[in-house]
Structures are given as structure tokens and as C-alpha cells.
Amino acid sequence: MLTNSYLKFLVASHKLLSEFSGDEKLVLEEVVKRGSEHPYRVQEIISMRSIASQATIHKVLSHLITRGFLNLKTSKEDGRVKFVLLSKKSEKIVKQLNALLQKSTS
């Protein structure tokens, strides 16, 4: 049995995120870090070469949107621009991760 709370957190978070590929986790992490106040435009995410190629990121975005983990919001100023936001489903996972982290540090 694990006695180290950090290791317990890692194991629990790994289980929680096991349904995502590595690239999906990286895209979700970027969207979470940016937040909903200043969300990424689709083009900004697709241009993140540090994650993967443009084609791969496009596929990842499409997959996350289809599965309900991300939402697109059209810009009020320019209908061609789409912003990437976390869905309620993803926000729930973020809350679960926060709870796991708080539990492991208390």
C-alpha cells in the first residue's frame, strides 16, 4: 500500500485521466492553463508545434469536441474565429483533480 500522499495522488490522477491520449492531455492542459477569461483561438492551439503536428492537433481537437470535453464558441467580432473552452464534462474532471490534490496535501 502506498503511504506517500503524492504517490497516491499520482495513481488516482492517472486513473482519472486514463481515457485521454498524451496529445489530448497536453491540449486539455493548455486550455485549462489559459482559462475561460482569455481562451485560445482554434488556430492558436493548432499552431502549438511543441504538442504535435498541425494535423495531429486538429484530429485531437476534433476528437475532444466530439467526445464532449471541449466546446467551441464563435467570436462576436468575427464569425470566422472560434474559441476553445472546457465543457462541463472537463470542468468536472478539473474539480476532481483539485479535490484529489487537496486530499493528498491534508
Q: What is the mean pLDDT of residues 45-61?
A: 94
Q: What pLDDT, on the 0 to 100 scale, is given for residue 1? A: 44
User: Residue 91's closest CA among 51, 10, 22, 31?
Assistant: 31
Question: Residue 58 in contact with residue 46, Cβ under 8 Å?
Answer: yes
Q: Residue 2: helix, strand or coil by DSSP?
A: coil
- pLDDT-derived band at 7 (thresholds 50, 70, 90) equals confident
pLDDT at 42 over 70: yes
Cβ–Cβ < 8 Å for 74, 97: no
Neighbour count for residue 102 (Cβ, 10 Å): 10
pLDDT of 104 strictly over 70: yes
Q: What is the pLDDT of residue 3?
A: 60
- What CA–CA distance (Å, rounded) separates 17 from 73? 25
If you classify domain 5-105 with CATH, what class do you get? Answer: mainly alpha
pTM for the complete prediction?
A: 0.87
Q: Mean pLDDT of all residues in the chain?
A: 92
